[in-house]
């Protein structure tokens, strides 16, 4: 059994954004070997023989061109889609379905329109049978983090796209899972909110020790949030390059070390371009627009 | 801010205007109906050939209400009919909602059941009467059965249609956050389709109410349908129209309750 974590109501209060938190042993060793996936039996494979390993507590960024299979990969890792070949193991145990211990935030918010903001954020804890009071405390903290405390009682249909995305982020974060999978989580946000959430999500993951896998189009985001970046190319999806992001925390965009790391990640795209031709070419263009 | 205050001020006064207009039109509509009725009653009473039917007029009908009330006939008929209607609808919902959910969730079941359900749906509920009388020992039970047979279809089909419209991503999100199957049902499926279920119940209520009265004219000795038949046989026409009016009023009130529930449970924007 993995360490019991998010699914079990805690004896002590919430640990979400509290500074004096003692580092818990959370996170998983992820081991994916020979992964193959097809959406339909006759169709082209989305992946074949994909390999991915990640250590306990690592923050991983996956960057790749639109349609190369990033979202599909996250769905499979989250246990929502079953691999057609190969397997996914967390700490040596095969993943055989979704769980509140590995939670994904989807590319679209998909909020429940009949629930208020706070109910949307608390739904996972409700599924796990948390007592009302502890649940409310954790939800309030998650909402504070995404700067939506004033909207707790609002109908989610009255929120802007970016606000909805932040509710979806809070809904995943509030679970304090062992592995958090984020699919382009900040794409609809303004630069300021995005920068502060990039910093906060990384620091929470590091403090609580959980794994992070973040899919992004934004090179900056990969440099600011990840310990390691994987470059993915499509048809069928594979990881064509990996890149160590050795930077001290906290990371600042203007920091020369960050700037040079970004330049090197860009070079890595050039290298990937040689491998996968026009696909990587477009990637690079996206990367440039990401910086602008 | 003055601009803001002026704006909200004009908004509230506009809402008040709309409400007043609604009430005025509602009353005016009723008044016109009453006037036509009164005129018809007056003509019937004035003509010596039809004088014996003067009880159908507006004024005799209104006079019949206190009469029926003091005799206890009105209350008894309403209770008896209400019991049958409620029982029938309850059974219809208890059968229709779960089957509707399975229909909405399983394509296989939908394809398998579609032909038989469409066929059964088209059978006039009253044509089940002889069989119902044969099967059930009491009249009450056969009427409840007829109501259930008549009203199960809209509930079932509305539930299934509601589920078909549900965004599949909601199930994915719920599964992802650790929802167990029961929680999926109670916290995602039911709230997502509560609007459609109540729409189905509203349609079912309309049909059930229409079926109830003729069903009560066959055999039983209580209820609104029986009261109408009884009034006709005893030639007390003002009682007859009073009962007809009662049926209309109760039906209208029940439908209003449904609309209220629909509003209460609707999360769609711009549904009503
Ligand atoms: N439900 C589905 N059924 C069939 N094919 C699908 C389905 N979802 C995705 N695909 C296909 O699988 C491939 C990978 O899709 P995926 O959504 O994983 O891409 P992505 O890398 O996340 O792209 P983006 O950056 O645009 O989000 C695409 O070619 C897409 O056409
Ligand atoms: Mg995607």
pLDDT tens digits, one per residue of A246-282: 888 888 888 888 889 889 888 887 777 565 555 545 5
Helix axis angle, B190-216 to B73-105, nearest 10°:
140
Q: Under an 8 A CB cutoff, do B175 and A123 touch?
A: no
Integer Rg of chain A from CA: 19
Average pLDDT over residues A116-128: 94
Nearest residue by C-alpha to atom 27 in ligand 1: A66
- Taking CB atoms and an 8 Å cutoff, what residues of chain B touch A128? 178
Tell me the per-residue pLDDT of B104-159, one tens digit each, with 9 for 90 and over. Answer: 888 899 899 989 998 998 888 888 888 888 899 888 899 999 999 999 999 999 99
Domain boundaries A19-101+188-291, corresponding CATH code:
3.40.50.300
CA B258 to chain CA mean position, Å: 8
State the distance from the centre of ligand 2 to the C-alpha of A174, rounded, in angstroms: 23
For residue B83, the tally of other CB atoms under 10 A from its CB is 15
> Which of B170, B172, B269 is nearest residue A112 as measured by Cβ atoms?
B170
Q: Which residues are registered as beta bridge partners of A50?
A: A35
The structural domains of chain B, with segments of one domain joined by +, span 1-56, 58-265
Whole-number mean pLDDT of chain A? 83
Q: What are phi and psi of B129, to 5 degrees?
A: -55, -55
Please give the DSSP secondary-structure letter assigned to residue A115.
S
Three-class secondary structure of residue B191 per DSSP: helix
Q: With b meaning 16 or more CB within 10 Å and e meaning fewer, what string describes B160-177?
A: bbbbeebeeebbbbbbbb
Tell me the per-residue pLDDT of B159-212, one tens digit each, with 9 for 90 and over. Answer: 999 998 888 999 999 999 999 999 999 999 999 999 999 999 999 999 998 899
Helix axis angle, B73-105 to B58-71, nearest 10°:
90
The residue of chain B nearest to residue A122, with distances taken between CA atoms, is B177
| Shortest alpha-carbon distance between residue B183 and chain A (Å) | 7
Whether the predicted pLDDT of B225 surpasses 60? yes
CATH class held by domain B58-265:
mainly alpha
Tell me the per-residue pLDDT of A170-225, one tens digit each, with 9 for 90 and over. Answer: 999 999 999 999 999 998 888 888 888 898 899 888 888 899 999 998 888 999 99
CA A251 to chain CA mean position, Å: 18
The structural domains of chain A, with segments of one domain joined by +, span 19-101+188-291, 109-176
Q: Shortest CA distance to A64 belongs to which of A198, A270, A218?
A: A218
B208 Cβ neighbours under 8 A, 6+ residues apart: B85, B88, B89, B92, B147, B150, B151
B267 touches chain A (CB under 8 A): yes
Q: Shortest CA distance to A111 belongs to which of A124, A102, A120, A101?
A: A120
State the pTM of this model: 0.78
The residue of chain A nearest to residue B180, with distances taken between CA atoms, is A127
Q: Which of A5, A108, A113, A155 to mutate to test the interface with B (most CBs of B within 10 A)?
A: A113
Helix axis angle, B224-233 to B73-105, nearest 10°:
140
- Tell me the residues of chain B between 151 and 210 that have a Cβ less than 8 Å away from chain A: 167, 169-170, 172-180, 183, 187-188, 191-192, 194
> What pLDDT does residue B55 have?
80
Judge whether B107 and B164 are in contact, CB under 8 Å. Answer: no
Q: Under an 8 A CB cutoff, do B178 and A128 touch?
A: yes
Ligand nearest to the CA of B172: 1
Range in A44-48, B26-30, B92-96 the model is least confident about: A44-48
In terms of pLDDT, which residue wins out, B271 or A245?
A245
Tell me the per-residue pLDDT of B49-66, one tens digit each, with 9 for 90 and over. Answer: 887 787 888 888 888 888
Average pLDDT over residues A6-21: 45
- Around ion ligand 2, residues with a beta carbon closer than 5 Å are A 71, 107
Burial of B66 (0-12, 13-18, 19+ CB in 10 A): exposed
Neighbour order of strands in the sheet with A179-183: A102-105, A179-183, A211-216, A59-64, A228-233, A238-244
Average pLDDT over residues A69-85: 91
Average pLDDT over residues A113-142: 94
Judge whether A85 and A35 are in contact, CB under 8 Å. Answer: yes
Strand pairing report for A30-38 and A85-90: antiparallel
Q: Under an 8 A CB cutoff, do A98 and B178 touch?
A: yes
The set of protein residues with a Cβ atom below 6 angstroms from ligand 1 is A 39, 46, 64, 66-72, 107
Burial of A190 (0-12, 13-18, 19+ CB in 10 A): exposed
Ligand 1 atom at minimal distance to the Cα of residue A65: 25
For residue A209, the tally of other CB atoms under 10 A from its CB is 14
Nearest residue by C-alpha to atom 16 in ligand 1: A69
Q: Under an 8 A CB cutoff, do B174 and A113 touch?
A: no
**What ipTM was predicted for this assembly?**
0.80
């Amino acid at each position: 059994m993995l360490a019991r974590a998010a699914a079990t109501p805690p004896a002590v209060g919430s640990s979400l954004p509290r500074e004096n938190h003692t580092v818990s042993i959370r996170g998983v060793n992820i081991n994916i070997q020979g992964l193959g996936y097809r959406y339909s039996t006759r169709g082209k494979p989305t992946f074949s023989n994909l390999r991915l390993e990640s250590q306990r507590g690592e923050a991983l960024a996956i960057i790749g061109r639109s349609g190369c299979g990033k979202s599909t990969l996250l769905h499979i890792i989250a246990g929502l889609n079953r691999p057609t070949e190969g397997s996914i193991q967390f700490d040596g145990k095969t993943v055989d379905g979704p769980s509140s211990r590995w939670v994904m935030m989807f590319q679209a918010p998909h909020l429940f329109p009949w629930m208020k903001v706070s109910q949307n954020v608390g739904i996972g804890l409700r599924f796990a049978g948390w007592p009302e009071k502890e649940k409310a405390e954790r939800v309030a903290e998650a909402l504070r983090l995404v700067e939506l405390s004033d909207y707790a009682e609002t109908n989610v249909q009255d929120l802007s796209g970016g606000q909805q995305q932040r509710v979806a982020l809070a809904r995943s974060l509030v679970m304090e899972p062992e592995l958090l999978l984020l699919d382009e989580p900040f794409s609809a946000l303004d630069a300021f909110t995005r920068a502060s959430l990039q910093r906060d999500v990384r620091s929470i993951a590091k403090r609580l020790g959980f794994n992070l896998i973040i899919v992004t189009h934004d090179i900056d985001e990969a440099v600011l949030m990840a310990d390691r970046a994987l470059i993915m190319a499509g048809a069928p999806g594979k990881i064509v390059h990996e890149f160590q992001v050795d930077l001290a925390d906290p990371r600042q965009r203007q920091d020369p070390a960050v700037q040079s790391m970004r330049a090197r990640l860009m070079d890595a795209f050039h290298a990937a371009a040689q491998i996968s031709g026009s696909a990587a070419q477009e990637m690079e263009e996206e990367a440039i627009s990401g910086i602008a | 801010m003055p601009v803001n205050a002026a704006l909200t001020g004009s908004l509230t006064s506009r809402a008040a205007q709309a409400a007043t207009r609604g009430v005025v039109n509602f009353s005016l509509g009723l008044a016109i109906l009453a006037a036509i009725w009164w005129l018809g009653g007056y003509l019937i009473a004035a003509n010596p050939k039809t004088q014996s039917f003067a009880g159908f007029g507006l004024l005799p009908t209104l006079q019949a209400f206190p009469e029926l009330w003091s005799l206890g006939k009105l209350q008894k008929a309403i209770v008896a009919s209400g019991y049958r209607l409620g029982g029938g609808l309850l059974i219809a919902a208890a059968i229709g909602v779960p089957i509707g959910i399975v229909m909405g969730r399983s394509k296989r079941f939908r394809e398998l059941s579609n032909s038989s359900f469409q066929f059964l749906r088209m059978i006039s509920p009253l044509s089940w009467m002889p069989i119902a009388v044969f099967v059930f020992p009491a009249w009450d039970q056969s009427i409840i059965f007829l109501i259930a047979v008549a009203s199960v279809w809209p509930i079932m089909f509305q539930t299934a249609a509601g589920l078909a419209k549900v965004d599949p991503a909601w199930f994915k999100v719920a599964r992802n956050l650790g929802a167990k199957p029961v929680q999926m049902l109670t916290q995602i499926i039911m709230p997502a389709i509560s609007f459609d279920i109540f729409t189905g119940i509203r349609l079912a209520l309309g049909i059930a109410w229409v079926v109830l009265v003729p069903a009560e004219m066959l055999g039983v000795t209580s209820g609104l349908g029986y009261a109408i038949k009884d009034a006709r046989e005893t030639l007390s026409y003002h009682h007859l129209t009073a009962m007809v009016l009662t049926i209309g009023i109760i039906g209208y009130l029940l439908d209003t309750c449904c609309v209220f529930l629909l509003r209460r449970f609707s999360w769609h924007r711009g549904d009503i």
